[in-house]
Structure 1
C-alpha cells in the first residue's frame, strides 16, 4: 500500500499528476482519496477535486496511457484485466510508474490538502475483457423522422443510471436513438450493446469537459477516447475536433452559456459541426444560446458562408432528470449511425420537448419549387414565397416565425387539440432565411414563453 499526500494552492494547474510505482505481479490496483473542505465565506468557491488514472504508458496528451476518469463522482476505484470501476478501462496492471491525475475544479482560499491511498492485490491476471459494442444500424421504419437524445450521462461518469435504465427511459420517451456522452471517458462504450434493439440505435461518444467549455463528441467510432486536457488559449481544439471527425463523429459545443464553473464556451464555433442550443428544461441560458445561434445565422446568410445547425439534448444524469427533454428530430433514410449523423450535420432537424410535439416548416415559390428544414429555396430576390408551418401536440402554444430581420409572425394560441397551421408570404429580398418556433403561453409580460419546439432554418435566395 502506498499513501500520497500534498497540498494545492489557489491557482494550481488544471491537472496535477501524482506518480506512484506499481511492482511486478499485481493483478488489481485500488485507489481511494480524500481532501479537506474548509469553511469559506458566502460566494467563495470551496474545495472540489476531480480524479483519474494513467498507466505506465504515461500522461502524454492524446491519452495513450488513459485508464479512466471519475471526476468528483467517486472517492475510490479499481482496475484489473477483466473489470474496472465504471468510468475506468479494464486491462492489465503492468509494472512501472503510473499516475493519479487530480483536477482541482475549485480551490478554497486556504488551499486544498489531499491524501491518496493506492493498494495492490497480487496474483495471476484474469482473462482480458473483450469489448462488445452496439450495432450501427437498427431496423427502424425506413425513410422517416427519427427522435433522439444526443446528450446523456450514465453511472460510467457522474450519472446515477445504468445503461439499461437509460434505454428503458428512452423507449418510454419515444426515442429512436440516443448518444452515450459520459464526461471525459469512453469506458461506457462496451456496456451498451445489450440495450440496443430493432427499435433503438445507440450512438457512442463523450462529453469532453474542459476548463473553457464542454463539447459533445457525437457518434464516434466505438472505443474512441477524446482528451479533455485543453484550454482555448493553447490552440489544441482544432486537433481535438479533427480527431472526433476522423472517428466519424460530430463536434457539438454543449450548453455554451450554462452558469456552471468551466461551462462557458470559449473556443469559438469555427470547428463545430452543430451546437447544442437546447439543454434540458428550457432556461434563460438556452434563450441566450438561441439568440447567439440566430445571430450566427444572420452572419452566415449575409456573408454567404456555411451555417451551424442547432440540436438539443437532455443532459440527464439522474432522477428526476427527464430523458428525451428535449429531443432532436431528424429525417433519415434508415435508422443508422451514418444517416442520423448526416441529417444532423445538414441541419435537416428540429428540436421538440417531447414525443407528442411535432413541427414542420416548408417554403414554396410561386412556381412550385419548395424546400424544407435545413434546405435552400433558390429563387430570385423578388419571387413570391409562401412559408408554411404545421404544428401538433402543443395545446395553447404559439407559432412564431423568425428571419434575419427578427420576429416577423406571432400566431394565435393553438387550440386545445394542439394542432394548427400558420402561413406567411415573403421574398428572398426581405428574408434571407426563416425558422419556426413553438412557444408556451407567456408568463411574464413581454417575454416569450418557454420553448416547446424550434426548427433549423430554411434559406431563401440564390
Structure 2
C-alpha cells in the first residue's frame, strides 16, 4: 500500500485558492499555571463563500488536551433558501485528527480519549487547523463563534486501538449477506457500534462495512463487537460537495480526503489511493436529493454503484435505470450493490442488503465478490434468490458471470425464489423488460425464460411487490446483477 502524505493533503487544500480561506493564527502562551487557557474566536461567512475556512491554532508545549465548542446563527432563510449549516473538524501538524460535520457542537482530543469522530493521540506542539465547512449559507450570511480550550499536564495512558479481525468463521465458498453502508455515533448516526453490531446480527447478516462520514475513528473500536458470526470491515463515506462515495475495505485507521469537487479533477487520485489499499470505491445514493449528495463525477474507475439505498424510492428507481443504461453501453460494467445507509431508529439495518458469493467470510473474499458482481440485493434475509443461465449442452453461468456461447445458441434462464409472497418476477435484458410473471401465493417458485445471445446481451432479474411507496408504483424486493450472454 502506498503511504498517503496527510500533511501534504492539508497543505494542498489550504492553498486551493477560491476553494478555501485561511484566517489569522490564534496563539496560546506556554503553561503559566495549573488552569486551562481559552480563546474565543468569531467571524461571519458570506453567502457564496468558499467551501472551507481554516483557523490556524498554534499549540504550545505541555498541552494534554484540546477541546473546541462552536455555534452559529440560524436566521430564518428567505423563501426558496435552506437554513445555515456549518460543519467542523480538525487537523494537527501531521494531518487529519477528526471530523464531526454538523452533528456535534463540541469535541475533545487527548492521548487517552477523543470524542467519537476524532482520533485519540498526543496533543503535539505546533500548528493545528480547525476547519469549518459552510455547507449551506443564507443570503444574510452565517455568523459563527468557536471557543478553543487547552489543558496542560502529563498525558494519560495512551489509547489502545482494537480493530476488527479480517476474518470470521463463515461457511467456506457460499453466499454471504451484508450491509456495506452504515453509520454510528462516530459520524452522524445515533446508534453506538454495539447497537449496530446487534442490529446486524438481528438482521441475520454475515458482514457489515463501517462507513462513517470523512473519518476513520470507528476502526479503533470494532474489534470489541466483531466475532466468529459477524465480519466487520472498515471503510469510510467520503462526502464531497458533488456527491458521496464509500471506500470499502480500508486498512484500519486509513483516511480518505473529501475536500474537492468534480471540477477539481481530484477524484482519480483518491480512487487510486483506495485501490492501492486493496479497497473498493462505490458511488453512494447517486441521485439522492439532499444538498451535495448528487453524484457528479461519473463512474469511470469506480468498482460499484449503490442502486438501492434504504427503503425503495423514486431516486433508487432512477439510479437503477441509469445503471441499466451503463450495461447497454457495453463498456466495462460496474456492479450494483444495495445498502441501508442506516443512521438511527427507525431506519432498518439490512434494508436492503447485498448478498455476495465469496470464497469465505473474510475481507479479501467479500471484496472480490463485490468487485466481480457476484451478488444480488434483497430487502431482508427472508428473501432467497437463485438465478442461472444454461444451455441444453449443460453449460451454465451465474450472477456476474458470462455464458460464452455463440449468438444463436438457445439459453434458458431460471429464476428461483422464496420469501416473496404476493410478488411478481421481471426478466430484464438490454431491450428492457422481457418477462413479467406472478409468483406463487406463498412466494416460492421458479420462473424460466429462453432467449439467445443475439437477442439478449445480458439478462438480470427483479422481484417486485405490487405495493406503492410514497414515490413509486411498486416496491423492490430483490434484484440481481446481470448474467452476460455471448462471446466476450
TM-score (norm 2): 0.91
Question: What does 1:197-346 correspond to in 2, within 5 Å?
Answer: 197-300=227-330, 305-346=331-372
Displacement of 1:130? 2.4
Displacement of 1:42? 3.0
Aligned to 2:64: 27
Across the aligned residues of Structure 1 and Structure 2, the Cα RMSD in angstroms comes to 1.0
Indicate yes or no: 2:135 matched with 1:105.
yes
Displacement of 1:443? 3.7
Structure 1 Cα separation of the partners of residues 51 and 390 of structure 2: 53
Structure 1 Cα separation of the partners of residues 400 and 440 of structure 2: 28
Indicate yes or no: 2:450 matched with 1:425.
yes
Aligned to 1:374: 400
Question: What does 1:356-367 correspond to in 2, within 5 Å?
Answer: 356-367=382-393
Aligned to 1:4: 41
Among 414, 420, 428, the alignment partner of 1:388 is: 414
Structure 2 Cα separation of the partners of residues 441 and 3 of structure 1: 58
Aligned to 1:347: 373
Aligned to 1:42: 79
Aligned to 1:457: 482
Q: Cα deviation per residue 1:438-459 (whole Å; 9 max; x = unaligned)? A: 0001549xx7521000000000
Aligned to 2:156: 126
Aligned to 1:60: none
Structure 2 Cα separation of the partners of residues 416 and 122 of structure 1: 70
* Alpha-carbon contact 1:439-1:448 (below 8 Å) kept: no
Structure 2 Cα separation of the partners of residues 271 and 212 of structure 1: 17
Q: Cα deviation per residue 1:260-300 (whole Å; 9 max; x = unaligned)? A: 00001011100200111100000000000000000000002
Structure 2 segments unaligned to the other structure (5+ residues): 1-37
Question: What does 1:36-185 correspond to in 2, within 5 Å?
Answer: 36-57=73-94, 65-185=95-215
Aligned to 1:409: 435
Q: Cα deviation per residue 1:85-114 (whole Å; 9 max; x = unaligned)? A: 000001111122211100000001100010
Q: Cα deviation per residue 1:220-253 (whole Å; 9 max; x = unaligned)? A: 1111100011111111100000111111110000
Structure 1 Cα separation of the partners of residues 62 and 229 of structure 2: 46
Q: Cα deviation per residue 1:57-85 (whole Å; 9 max; x = unaligned)? A: 3xxxxxxx111000000000000011100
Structure 2 residue matching 1:39: 3-state secondary structure: coil
Structure 2 Cα separation of the partners of residues 430 and 124 of structure 1: 74
* Alpha-carbon contact 1:37-1:46 (below 8 Å) kept: yes
Structure 1 residue matching 2:308: 3-state secondary structure: strand
Indicate yes or no: 2:426 matched with 1:400.
yes
Structure 1 segments, 4+ long, off by >4 Å, are none
* Alpha-carbon contact 1:273-1:308 (below 8 Å) kept: yes
Structure 2 residue matching 1:241: 3-state secondary structure: helix
Structure 2 residue matching 1:411: 3-state secondary structure: strand
Structure 1 Cα separation of the partners of residues 250 and 76 of structure 2: 42
What is the aligned residue count? Answer: 448
* Alpha-carbon contact 2:163-2:222 (below 8 Å) kept: yes
Structure 2 residue matching 1:205: 3-state secondary structure: strand
* Alpha-carbon contact 1:366-1:383 (below 8 Å) kept: no
